[in-house]
Amino acid sequence: MTDSQTVTIEVETTYDRSPTDLFDAFSDKRRQHVLEYLSDYGIATLDELTTRVASREKKSSEEQQQQIAISLVHHHLPKLEETGIVSYDSDHKNIQLLADPAELAPYLALATDREFGTGGQ
């Protein structure tokens, strides 16, 4: 490519995050823990997120961690993926933050400050 060439890349999103969608996504403590972690690191494995949530909820037994992983896979990650906030690769068990952390920060701060969460499922 020479200096005179210009490359344009367009990114098309297939979702439109409304404030209502974001508040709904942040309405659960487990999802809040997941989003806090992903806002810091951008990508994580299911094991990393399970460990983070278990630590925050002070649940350390293997059975408790297994229950957390199940709730993440079957409830919380699909909810976040529906909203377009994260991408979950179930084959490799990787979760990636798709949203800009700066966009999420006010919603996350409000949700955690006011404890809108339901305490996890």
Beta-bridge partner residues of 44: 95
What is the rounded average pLDDT of the residues 52-81? 97
Distance between CA atoms of 10 and 18, rounded to whole angstroms?
22
Q: Does position 67 have pLDDT exceeding 90, yes or no?
A: yes
DSSP alpha helix (H) spans, the chain = 19-25, 29-41, 46-56, 62-71, 77-82, 101-114
Q: Is 68 left (phi over 0), alpha (psi -120 to 50) or beta?
A: alpha
Residue in the structure block whose two tokens are 């400050």: 113
Domains and CATH numbers, the chain: 19-111 (1.10.10)
Q: Does position 17 have pLDDT exceeding 80, yes or no?
A: no
Which has the higher per-residue pLDDT, 89 or 107? 89
pTM of the model: 0.77
Give the number of other CB atoms < 10 A from CB of residue 41: 13
What is the rounded average pLDDT of the residues 19-43? 91
Q: What is the pLDDT of residue 66?
A: 98
Distance between CA atoms of 47 and 70, rounded to whole angstroms?
11
